[in-house]
Amino acid sequence: MVKTTDITLAVIAKDLKKSPSDALVIGVAQGADGPVLLANPLSAKAAETLAGSLEILGVTGAADQAHRLPGLPETGAGVLVLAGVGKLEDGALAEEALRRAAGSAIRQLAGLATVTLAFPTAALADVAAVAEGATLGAYSYTEHRSSKDGLKDPVAKAVIYTDVTAKDAQPVIDRARLLGRAVNATRTLVNQPPSHLYPESFAESAKELAKGLPVKITVWDEKRLEKEGFGGILGVGKGSTRQPRLVKVEYAPAKATKKIALVGKGITFDTGGISIKPALGMGDMKSDMAGAAVVLNTVLAVAGLGLPVKVTAWLCIAENMPSGAAQRPADVLTVYGGKTVEVLNTDAEGRLVMADGLVAASLEQPDAIIDVATLTGAQLIALGNRTAGVMGSDSVTAALKSAADRAGELVWPMPLPEELRASLDSQVADLANIGEKHGGMMTAAVFLREFVGKDAAGKQIPWAHVDIAGPSFNNGSPYGYTPKQGTGCTVRTLLAYLEDVLAVSA
12-39 confidence digits (pLDDT tens): 988 888 889 999 999 999 988 899 999 9
pLDDT tens-digit series, residues 166-184: 999 999 999 999 999 999 9
Residue type, position 302, single letter: V
Look at residue 92 and tell me whether its pLDDT is greater than 90. no
Annotated active-site residue 351? The verdict is yes
Residues within the annotated binding site for Mn(2+)? 265, 270, 288, 347, 349
Residue type, position 279, single letter: A
Q: Spot the catalytic one: 258, 277, 421, 484.
A: 277
CATH superfamily of 187-505: Zn peptidases (3.40.630.10)
Segment 149-171 mean pLDDT: 94
Query: Predicted confidence band at 1 (pLDDT cuts at 50, 70, 90)?
Result: low
Structural domain boundaries in the chain? 8-163, 187-505
Question: What local confidence, expressed as pLDDT, does residue 13 receive?
Answer: 85
The pTM for the full model equals: 0.97
Burial status of residue 227 (CB atoms within 10 A of its CB: 0-12, 13-18, 19 or more): exposed
Distance CA 427, CA 435 (A): 13
Helix count and strand count (H, E) for the chain: 13, 20
Angle at 392 between CA 395 and CA 409, to 5 degrees: 80
Distance CA 141, CA 488 (A): 13
Distance CA 140, CA 26 (A): 24
Q: Hey, CA dihedral for 487, 81, 159, 409, is it positive or negative? A: negative
Distance CA 337, CA 358 (A): 10
Distance CA 60, CA 63 (A): 9
Q: Spot the catalytic one: 175, 177, 248, 351.
A: 351
How far, in whole angstroms, is CA 390 from its chain's centroid? 14
Query: Predicted confidence band at 355 (pLDDT cuts at 50, 70, 90)?
Result: very high
Q: Identify the DSSP state of 102.
A: H
Annotated active-site residue 277? The verdict is yes
pLDDT tens-digit series, residues 369-379: 999 999 999 99
Distance CA 481, CA 470 (A): 17
Segment 431-458 mean pLDDT: 97
Q: What are the phi and psi torsion angles at 288 (to 5°)?
A: -75, 5
The residues that bridge with 27 in the sheet, in sequence order, are 83
- Range 8-163 has CATH code 3.40.50.10800: no
Query: Predicted confidence band at 88 (pLDDT cuts at 50, 70, 90)?
Result: confident
Burial status of residue 322 (CB atoms within 10 A of its CB: 0-12, 13-18, 19 or more): middle
Please report which helix (H) or strand (E) contains residue 427, including its range. Answer: none
Closest by CA to 128, choosing from 139, 138, 117, is 117
* CA-based end-to-end distance of the chain: 39
Residues within the annotated binding site? 265, 270, 288, 347, 349
Distance CA 225, CA 298 (A): 25
Q: Are 466 and 455 contacting, i.e. CB atoms less than 8 angstroms apart?
A: no
- CA 123 vs CA 93, 168, 444: distances in Å: 11, 11, 42
Segment 293-297 mean pLDDT: 98
Segment 396-413 mean pLDDT: 98
